[in-house]
């Protein structure tokens, strides 16, 4: 009886804590995600462009450096190649691609605020002559078919209203035999990792946004948890990359599956037998 009484008393408190700190945060995130996607995603990113890199570094506990190293180690980017960075933001991936030896990097993004930050970083780097940033839509890339040796994106696809269109566009602009690489947040397969990561990611971005950016920062970062909740898992994303026309699709889980690096290649055209 004593154990049962304690259990009955504890449950309401646990329910209250969950409602206050998890469910309310998730509900707010879902609402803000709908506002961001359905109204004006570029304006949202314009709002958070200042201090974006610092906020991301703090939010990931510096793990962005680990994920960046994994991208450099595993992504099939050939030296001297022409590479498209889709959703380049502040040019973090564009600069990494240049350091990996890409001969030319073209970055596109819809947010002028993010592009301005990215251009300033590129100009201060030793790779300014090999990186060009311009405004462009990931779902309607302003480039001819097969005009790049590879296309890559990092932490972009969750924010695109139609990820299948984005994948199709990446495949379209890559030459046959070229690579498409996607690095994105994912859903950890381990129950323990999910139990630790999911509550943290639901609550931390709005809280950290408010601490670093003031009252508007909470709303500006509130879309992040819902963007991941709606995003497919690693296997499902690999299947959708294959459905977009990529071959040899594979993925690597990083940091217990919090992030995944997906890779595929545009198939070479089939050759008809001579006789």
> Residue 8: pLDDT above 90?
no
> Residue 25: pLDDT above 90?
no
**d(C-alpha 131, C-alpha 21), whole Å:** 43
> Residue 39: pLDDT above 50?
no
**Tokens read off for 31:** 């609402």
In this predicted model, what pLDDT tens digit does every residue of 104-125 receive, in sequence order?
Answer: 999 999 999 999 999 999 999 9
Whether this model's pTM surpasses 0.85: no
28 vs 186, which has greater pLDDT? Answer: 186
In this predicted model, what pLDDT tens digit does every residue of 192-245 receive, in sequence order?
Answer: 887 777 777 777 777 777 776 665 566 667 777 777 888 999 999 999 999 999
Return the CATH class of domain 40-187+231-265: alpha beta
């Amino acid at each position: 009886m004593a154990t049962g009484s304690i259990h009955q008393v504890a449950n309401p408190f646990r329910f209250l804590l969950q409602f206050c700190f998890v469910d309310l945060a998730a509900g707010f995130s879902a609402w803000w995600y709908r506002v961001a996607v359905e109204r004006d995603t570029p304006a949202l990113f314009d709002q958070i462009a200042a201090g974006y890199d610092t906020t991301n570094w703090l939010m990931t506990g510096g793990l962005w450096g680990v994920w960046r190293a994994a991208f450099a180690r595993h992504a099939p980017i050939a030296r001297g190649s022409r590479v498209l960075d889709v959703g380049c933001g502040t040019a973090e991936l564009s600069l990494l691609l240049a350091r990996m030896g890409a001969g030319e990097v073209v970055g596109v993004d819809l947010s002028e605020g993010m592009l301005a930050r990215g251009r300033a970083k590129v100009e201060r780097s030793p790779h300014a002559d090999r990186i060009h940033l311009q405004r462009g839509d990931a779902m309607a890339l302003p480039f001819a078919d097969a005009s790049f040796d590879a296309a890559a994106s990092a932490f972009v696809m969750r924010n695109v209203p139609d990820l299948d269109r984005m994948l199709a566009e990446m495949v379209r602009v890559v030459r046959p035999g070229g690579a498409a690489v996607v690095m994105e947040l994912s859903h950890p397969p381990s129950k323990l990792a999910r139990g630790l990561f999911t509550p943290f990611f639901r609550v931390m971005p709005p809280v950290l946004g408010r601490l670093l950016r003031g009252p508007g920062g909470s709303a500006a970062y509130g879309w992040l948890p819902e963007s991941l909740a709606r995003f497919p898992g690693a296997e499902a994303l690999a299947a959708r990359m294959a459905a977009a026309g990529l071959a040899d699709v594979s993925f690597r889980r990083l940091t217990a599956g919090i992030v995944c690096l997906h890779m595929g290649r545009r198939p070479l055209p089939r050759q008809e037998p001579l006789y």
